Structure 1
Amino acid sequence: MTIPKGDLPPLILMVDDNRADVELTHEALLELPVVPEFQSVSDGLAALEYLHQRGAHAGARRPDLILLDLNMPRMDGRATLEALKADEALCDIPVVVLTTSESERDVLDCYRKHCAAFLTKPVTVEELIGKLEAVCQLWLSGVAALPRRPVRH
């Protein structure tokens, strides 16, 4: 994976209330050839606060990719995905659902709400690294064309 010189590394925002999953994902990302920056929030409401740079997230950088869990308190991943894709300022950020659900209904619902991909959380760290490497290769390396937006600091 290559990043143009002078650009900031890609930023991944993970939306997940399970601290162990967040830490494991962060550790797995550190194993990739090009390590993206990583931020996390614990639910959909916190994600919207982050993305709209409100409160404690004033000045937060816009993520290049969102990893979204489905089952969270306050605002779950389904409602969060719907809100993101309905928001003109946020709808072009790729959202990859990363969840324990294997429900065909969840898969179909998430794709109908325009997720970029639906991944089931793997059992082993090696599988997680492989899935994250594939996601980063597609969405963060320039393989998939994404709209260019000014970088916000």
Structure 2
Amino acid sequence: MIARESNQDKIILLVEDSKADIRLFQEVLKTSTIPHQLMVVRDGIDAMAYLRQEGEFSDSPRPNLIILDLNLPRKDGREVVAEIKADPSLKRIPVIVLTTSSNDEDINQSYELYVNCYITKSRNLKDLFKLVQGIESFWLKTVTLPFE
């Protein structure tokens, strides 16, 4: 395996149906000093098609990190996590659940499905902005992400 050069773009797959949350991620990451590409899909079916490079996503780059909402149209985020972690070619990609749910059952089930972390979204825009900056700082600057 050849080591990835540190200046190569980090590919982030954001699986989110909220236009406002997508826009927030885009705005926060505009100020990033880390080379990155933010790829966005808005439901669970498109997330799996993207990850499996099917259909319109056949040339899509493999993500280094997945940020996933749980409550998605067409295919629930829990189903998406289960499929990712059951697929030997995808299971090493870190998955961050970022959702409005603070339900104990959702948290426990997510960790049972081997998510790498579970974050409850703040409803306060300023706090949400800081949260996205924290994700960027930890997951793009501090952590060494897997690669193919």
- Please list, as runs of the form range in 1=range in 2, the aligned pairs for 1:2-151 lying within 5 A after superposition: 4-5=6-7, 7=8, 9-34=9-34, 36-141=36-141, 143-149=142-148
**In the TM superposition, what is the alpha-carbon distance from 1:132 to its structure 2 partner?**
2.3
131-140 or 97-106: bigger deviation: 131-140
Q: Is the 8 A contact 2:15 2:67 kept in 1?
A: yes
Long gaps (5+) in structure 2: none
Q: Deviations over 1:87-131 (max 9, x none)?
A: 100000110001111111111110111111111112233322322
Long gaps (5+) in structure 1: none
- Structure 2 length-normalised TM: 0.87
- Structure 1 length-normalised TM: 0.84
Output the CA distance in 2 between the equivalents of 1:93 and 1:40. 16
Output the CA distance in 1 between the equivalents of 2:75 and 2:146. 27
Paired AA for residue 68 in structure 1: L
Q: Is the 8 A contact 2:65 2:145 kept in 1?
A: no
Output the CA distance in 1 between the equivalents of 2:135 and 2:55. 30
Q: Deviations over 1:44-71 (max 9, x none)?
A: 1101111111111111001111110011
**In the TM superposition, what is the alpha-carbon distance from 1:24 to its structure 2 partner?**
1.8
Q: Number of aligned residue pairs: give it.
A: 144
Q: Is the 8 A contact 2:34 2:140 kept in 1?
A: no
96-105 or 12-21: bigger deviation: 12-21
**In the TM superposition, what is the alpha-carbon distance from 1:10 to its structure 2 partner?**
0.9
Paired AA for residue 26 in structure 1: Q
Paired AA for residue 53 in structure 1: Q
